[in-house]
Amino acid sequence: MATFRPSSGGVLVPAAAFHALYPEPVQQAALQDGPMPPGTSRPVGDGLENILAGLGTGRDKASHTGWTFPRLLARQDLENMYRVSWLAKRIVNAPADDMTREWRAHSFDDGAGTENRRMEQAEKRFGIRHKVNEALRWARLYGGSLIIVGTADTQARPRALAEPLETDRIPKGGLRYLMVVDRWRCPSSGKIETDPASPHFGMPESYLLADTGYEIHHSRVVRFDGERLPWSSWRQNALWHDSALQHVLDALKGCDTTVAAIATMMFEANVDILKLSSLDAKLSRKDGEALLHKRFRMAATMKSFNHLFMLDETETYEKKSNSFANLDKIMQEFYAYVAGAAGIPLTRLFGRSPGGLNATGDSDLENYYGRIASDQEAELRPRLETLDAILYRHELGAIPDDAGFEFNSLWELTDKERAEVEEKRANRDRAYVDMGAVTPDLVARELKDRGTYRAMTDDDLLDAEEEPDEEGDTGSEGQQTGDAALALRPTRAMAEEAKRGLAWRRKHGRGGTAIGIARARDIARRRNLSPETVRRMHGFFARHEADTRAEGFRPSEGGYPSIHRIDHALWGGDAGKAWADRMMARLDKRDD
């Protein structure tokens, strides 16, 4: 059989099939391996193809399948779906609710926990959790939303909304309101950030607040996006992303239509059939239709368990019933189809357990909660950090150095499971303490950090630690050398002064290097210090002796506390200086 290779490196095909499939100009150009005629391309193989069977060729019906530009859901379409279809509403709301359901816990350490409580109260006053949830919902429904940040400077001068917001200059009490708007209420102004060096490059420079005419600079909003779109589609969609309902539209239609069809079948679950002779003749009479109505109405009224159903000898009655077999399986498949399209497990979306022996849906929920936790970190955390930078300055006047938060776990343990975990941890800690691997105060700190006892404070930790003897060993950094052991544990007076220094630094935003702050936290917690640290402390106080006589070092002087006073406190203050001098003398004596 004659064969032909359409191009260099192409697929070897029967010559008859080649001539049958391609027009004469293409055949000639391909045979000569030369330039193709205008408007044509060289026939080459790229994928699975079978000329004889028509697989992968123009004769293959599957080759004509493709994807077209979707019918975009308009705002009214989305709102109709959200209001009418409970399933559409749950697809929008469920992930937003799950991302904010357990919320978060501020993790910075202020000693007694008073500033943590102040931040939690400020969150409640401004409704941060509710507003973030609302912004997430509208972002999923419409494709985007904004939280507008209203500060004191915009109350007297609303046009200031168009100016950049300098977050680090927000005064204490400077936040006035937070307002959630969807993308339709606050469209892009059309101005785009064109500076490639800007972190906001390519994004809208400002937005227009509907019904007011006010322009709002992008630094005064926190933007939430819907389902991510490719760049070109994002540009076509007025610089907004997609609704979460857009890609599940066909699945939703199929599910809702099937439910409606099954509900309609209920009206025809049982159909009465009555056969009459000469029905056309009866209907041709002037009063025939009325007589028939009267006849059938009377028959329907009489038909029951307790009455007779009278028929003429020429009439025949029978009942036909619709079959509802396997409809539950059909619905289950549609439910799974919608759940897969939405990315939400059946147990969460429909509130029902999956079918099958010993099936609980726990693994699906665990995977889903893992994805929610990932979205919290990738999408929610940067937006909350933007809001926190404003809220900290509004409430505390400055951002604490160790400010942060952690999202609470979505996976909730039962009381029994929680008790079992705590028992295992207690047994582990007891074993390590008995081995000497850890100290009881370390276990106490771990209990506080983990939140086992929510009312536990740093004072409780200090009480849990052992009070050292004058010359006794107190921990890992107070190491024994030769025949002597030094107690290098800060005193209570030093701890109080270090706490005061940390509080001053949070309030005034000055004083302390990274090393000084870390050492202040060790001193505040009365952690054992190393001999090298003691030597650094001694050197610090010696170098900065003159700073203690500078303006602002004493409460009666202007500018109190000065940066030198704060530094002095971070290293333990006068108590720290006296302690460092005493410990240095002992270290020198030991070394001698």
Q: What is the pLDDT of residue 25?
A: 62
**CA-closest candidate to residue 526, choices 480, 566, 493, 481:** 493
Residue 199 DSSP class: T
More confident residue, 14 or 225: 225
Distances 538 to 9, 521, 526, 541 between C-alpha atoms, Å: 81, 18, 17, 5
Are the CB atoms for 243 and 143 separated by under 8 Å?
yes
What does DSSP assign to residue 76?
A: H
- Between the ranges 49-63, 342-356, 424-438, 570-584, where is the mean pLDDT highest? 570-584
Find the range with the poorest average confidence among 122-131, 232-241, 359-368, 463-472.
463-472
56 in a structural domain = no
Q: d(Cα 207, Cα 183) in Å, to the nearest integer?
A: 10
- pLDDT for the residue numbered 379: 95
Region 325-329: mean pLDDT is 85
Q: How far apart are CA 454 and CA 457, in angstroms?
A: 8
Is the model's pLDDT at 33 over the cut of 70? no
Beta strands 484-485 and 3-4 are unpaired
Q: Examine the pLDDT at 6 and tell me if it is beyond 80.
A: no
| Structural tokens at position 213 | 């005419």
Average pLDDT over residues 539-546: 91
Asked whether residue 406 is assigned to any structural domain, the reply reads: no
Domain boundary among 197, 223, 248: 248
Please report the pLDDT score of residue 468 as a whole number. Answer: 42
453 occurs within a structural domain: yes
Tell me the C-alpha distance between 536 and 540, whole Å. 6
Residue 116 has pLDDT above 60, yes or no: yes
Residue 254 identity (one-letter amino acid)? G
Residues near 119 by beta carbon (within 8 Å), at least 6 away in sequence: 106, 391, 392, 395, 396
User: Cα separation of 208 and 191, whole Å?
Assistant: 11
Domain count, the chain: 4
Please state whether beta strands 144-151 and 175-182 pair in parallel, antiparallel, or not at all (unpaired): antiparallel
Q: Is residue 410, in this structure, part of any structural domain at all?
A: no
Query: In the chain, what percentage of residues exceed pLDDT 70?
Result: 82
Task: Tell me the C-alpha distance between 460 and 229, whole Å.
Answer: 52
Backbone angles phi, psi at 84, to 5 degrees: -95, -45
Same domain, 528 and 440: no
Q: Is residue 184 part of a domain?
A: yes
Say if residue 1's pLDDT is above 50.
no
Q: With the C-alpha atoms ordered 375, 378, 382, 388, is the resulting torsion angle positive or negative?
A: positive
* Number of other residues whose CB lies within 10 A of the CB of residue 540: 20
Whether residues 134 and 283 fall in one domain? no
pLDDT of the residue at 94: 96
> At 387, is the secondary structure helix, strand, or coil?
helix
pLDDT at 359 exceeding the cut of 60: no
pLDDT-derived band at 508, boundaries 50, 70, 90? confident
Are 82 and 220 found together in one domain? Answer: yes
Measure the CA–CA gap between 568 and 541, rounded to whole angstroms: 8
Taking the alpha carbons of 5, 8, 11, 12 in that order, is the dihedral positive or negative? Answer: positive
Between these two residues, 420 and 92, which has the higher pLDDT value?
92
What average pLDDT does this structure show over 441-451? 76
Identify which has the larger pLDDT, 243 or 435: 243
State the pLDDT at residue 29: 58
* 126 and 391 Cβ atoms separated by less than 8 Å: yes
**Long-range pairs, 247-253, Cβ under 8 A, ≥24:** 247/341, 248/91, 248/338, 248/341, 248/342, 249/70, 249/73, 251/334, 251/337, 251/338, 251/341, 251/342, 252/81, 252/85, 252/87, 252/88, 252/91, 252/338
Q: Do 83 and 220 fall into the same domain?
A: yes
- Are residues 94 and 193 both part of a single domain? yes
131 and 211 part of one domain: yes
Query: What's residue 17's pLDDT?
Result: 58
Lowest mean pLDDT among 125-134, 148-157, 486-495, 568-577: 486-495
183 pLDDT band, cuts 50/70/90, is very high
Which position has the higher pLDDT, 265 or 32? 265
Q: Which of 195, 214, 248 is the last residue of a domain?
A: 248
Are 101 and 243 in a shared domain? yes
Whole-number Cα distances in Å, 428 to 62, 179, 224: 63, 49, 44
CB 224 within 8 A of CB 142: no
Structural domain span for residue 419: 415-465
Sign for the CA dihedral angle at 127, 129, 132, 133 comes to negative
> What is the token pair recorded at 351?
């509130």
Question: What is the predicted pLDDT for the residue at 3?
Answer: 46
Whether 295 and 427 map to the same domain: the answer is: no
Specify whether 81 is located in the same domain as 224.
yes
Angstrom CA distances, 88 to 77, 141, 247, 341, 438, stand at 12, 9, 12, 12, 54
Helix 86-101, helix 75-84: angle, nearest 10? 90
Taking residues 69-82, report their average pLDDT: 93
Percentage helix, strand, coil for the chain under 3-state DSSP, each rounded to 5:
50, 10, 40
Of 11-25, 73-87, 113-127, 428-442, the least confident = 11-25
Answer yes or no: is 100 within a domain: yes
Contact 459/444 with Cβ under 8 angstroms?
A: no
Predicted pLDDT at 267: 81
pLDDT level of residue 252 (50, 70, 90 thresholds): very high
Comparing 71-75, 146-150, 377-381, 460-464, which segment has the lowest mean pLDDT?
460-464
Q: Decide if pLDDT at 570 tops 60.
A: yes
Candidates 45, 43, 47; CA nearest to 19 is 43
379 DSSP assignment: I
Residue 51 counted as domain residue: no
Handedness of CA 121, 126, 128, 129 (dihedral sign): positive
Average pLDDT over residues 424-438: 84
Q: How confident is the model at residue 471 (pLDDT cuts 50, 70, 90)?
A: very low
Q: Which residue has the higher pLDDT, 155 or 177?
A: 177
More reliable by pLDDT, 13 or 567: 567
pLDDT value at residue 73: 94
Report pLDDT for 36. Answer: 53
158 plus 268 within the same structural domain: no
Confidence class of residue 113 from pLDDT cuts 50, 70 and 90? Answer: low
Mean per-residue pLDDT, 466-473: 40
Instruction: Please write the tens of the pLDDT for every residue from 381-397.
Output: 999 999 999 999 999 89
Are residues 86 and 235 located together in one domain of the fold?
yes
Torsion, Cα of 397, 398, 402, 405 (10° steps)? 60
The confidence score (pLDDT) of residue 174 equals 94
> What whole-number distance in Å separates Cα of residue 393 and Cα of residue 301?
78
Q: Which of 30-34, 398-402, 523-527 has the lowest mean pLDDT?
A: 30-34
Residue 34's pLDDT is 55
Q: What are phi and psi of 474, to 5 degrees?
A: -125, 0
Is it the case that residue 574 has pLDDT exceeding 70?
Answer: yes
When the pLDDT of each residue in the chain is averaged and rounded to a whole number, the result is 82
- Which of 309-318, 508-517, 554-563 has the least mean pLDDT? 309-318
Dist. CA 589–CA 535, nearest whole Å: 14
105 has pLDDT over 70: yes
pLDDT tens column, 404-423: 888 998 877 777 877 888 88
Please give the Cα distance from 577 to 584 (Å, whole number).
10
Are 215 and 104 in a shared domain? yes
Beta partners for 319?
A: 272
Residue of 117, 180, 175 lying closest to 147 (CA atoms) = 180
* Residue 311, helix vs strand vs coil: coil
pLDDT in tens, 152-176: 998 888 899 999 999 988 999 999 9
> Which letter does DSSP use for residue 321 in this model?
E
Q: Is residue 268 part of a domain?
A: yes
End-to-end Cα spacing for the chain: 104
Domain limit, last residue, from 465, 483, 504: 465
As given in the structure block, the two tokens for residue 392 are 């900290």
More confident residue, 467 or 55: 55
CA distance 343 to 404: 30
pLDDT at 107 over 50: yes
Instruction: Report CA 139 to chain centroid distance, whole Å.
Output: 12
Q: Could you give the angle at which helices 75-84 and 128-142 cross, rounded to 10 degrees?
A: 120
Q: How many CB atoms lie within 10 A of CB 135?
A: 24
| pLDDT of 95 | 96
Task: Give me the pLDDT at residue 40, please.
Answer: 52
What's the distance, CA 178 to chain centroid?
20
